[in-house]
A and B are shown apart, each in its own frame.
Chain A
Amino acid sequence: MSGSIPEKNSLIPKICRVVGRRVEAENVVTLCLEPETGGPWQSAPGQFNMLYAFGVGEVPVSVSQCASDNEPIWHTVRAVGPVSAALCRLQVGSTLGMRGPFGNAWPLDVAEKKDVLVVAGGLGLAPMRPVIQHLLTRREFYGRVVVLYGCRSREAIIFDEDLAAWAQNDDLELLVTVDRADQAWGGRVGAITTLIDSQTFDPQSVLAMVCGPSLMMRFVVAALTGASCPESSIFVSMERNMKCAIGQCGRCQYGPHFVCRDGPIFRYDKIGSLFRIADI
């Protein structure tokens, strides 16, 4: 769980090309990227890259599919500011800059032989997608695999095809809920914490990985600890304010931690005291 050691040239972006583009939801786009030279990039589930929209700026984006010999790397971006909006506008054939990968990975080794609870909210499913793929690929190394996914509405759900496939896969249990829906939805409606209430897991043998906006994670962690899950068995992704990605600029400082260097994945008992500090 220690932070990664950046390469010497980690501040120099590599040029890469958009070879695939998929609209996931309103203002959410997945870009499939291949390097113009070298590659593919090797990254671990949970890591992030800095994506550079030329002439606009750079933002951290987590990896939603790790590159392999046969597959490009995927990044799923929500347009919330000028840079992310510029990235979302890129079309197949466009180029952008990328540096990374940075940060640490989800504790998939620690999770071996345990039940694994993956809890994702909204766009938080993007960094969890490689985790779920890993768990399914190495299924025999894990106990129960439960995936809980919450979204504002049906329209905000991302990775429809994956969710449909996972729902049919007996190797995992998938529960999806939305905050509001009409009768056409047909699925669960309610807060994501109600899915944790409904889960019967052995608190002593589960490892939970939680990813989503900080407010969502706060209440999910409260539900997990309320269900007797030890704080040391809960891992959260604290992607926030990352800029240089190598622990130099201080923009992502979180108490004594630099999220880009020491995280973004943290064991909850290491940062729990910071979770409710409003001004941090």
Chain B
Amino acid sequence: MEKLDQIISKHPFTKGMKADHFQTIAGCGRNVVFNAGDYIFHEGEAADHFYLLRHGRVALEVSVPGRAAIQIQTLEEGDIVGASWLVPPYRWAWDAQALETTRLVEFDAVCMREKCDADHDFGYELMKRFAPALGRRLQAARLQLLNIYETAD
């Protein structure tokens, strides 16, 4: 059976990470599995975890009273799930639902925040890995707002 360290090392998020930083992050992780339809987290709840997606698909959604939830983005193998743990008030901004059997590595965000505070080099390394992913998502969200498929004439 594959060890957790090996599993985490295969995820793009940890590619090229220094050994001591890798051990720090691996010490806060554990394997989790969600079945299709399970919610990984809900809007407004404490954002006390983040996840590296290994297999499966996850939808970020917003629920709307009286109608089906609206999906904002789907995430796949190699993606990060959850960024609200990074910034106060540490509450999830969206619902996250597994669209199929989904395997992730779950990290204790409280533990991670403490380690970032204690070791700024580690914290900076982590931010350098989150920032590009968040930048791409911000850009993607702006494109979704623009309706880039609308013809000009």
Determine if A197 and B136 form an interchain contact, defined as CB atoms under 8 angstroms apart.
Answer: yes
Interface residues of B, dominant DSSP: mixed
A203-223 residues at the B interface, CB under 8 angstroms? 212-216, 219
Please tell me which one of the listed residues A80, A179, A181, A186 contacts residue B151 in the complex, with CB atoms under 8 A apart: A80
Interface 9-mer from B19-27, B46-54, B112-120, B142-150 = B142-150
A216 vs B73: C-alpha distance in the bound complex, in angstroms? 18
Shortest Cβ distance from residue A27 to the other chain B in the assembled complex, whole angstroms: 11
Knowing A197-B136, A215-B146 touch, does A183 contact B69 (C-beta < 8 A)?
yes
Shortest Cβ distance from A213 into B: residue? B151
Q: Does B139 contact A (CB under 8 A)?
A: yes
Which residues of A lie under 8 Å from residue B131 when comparing CB positions?
none
Knowing A180-B144, A191-B143, A213-B148 touch, does A80 contact B73 (C-beta < 8 A)?
no
Q: Does B76 contact A (CB under 8 A)?
A: yes
Determine if A182 and B71 form an interchain contact, defined as CB atoms under 8 angstroms apart.
Answer: yes
Knowing A179-B144, A180-B144, A183-B71 touch, does A152 contact B149 (C-beta < 8 A)?
yes
Determine if B73 and A190 form an interchain contact, defined as CB atoms under 8 angstroms apart.
Answer: yes
A198 vs B12: C-alpha distance in the bound complex, in angstroms? 11
Most chain B CB within a 10 A radius of its CB, from A124, A191, A212: A191
Beyond the given pairs A80-B153, A182-B69, A189-B71, 11 more chain A to chain B contacts, judged by CB atoms under 8 angstroms and listed by A's residue number, are A78-B151, A81-B153, A156-B149, A179-B144, A179-B149, A182-B68, A186-B99, A191-B148, A198-B76, A215-B148, A219-B143
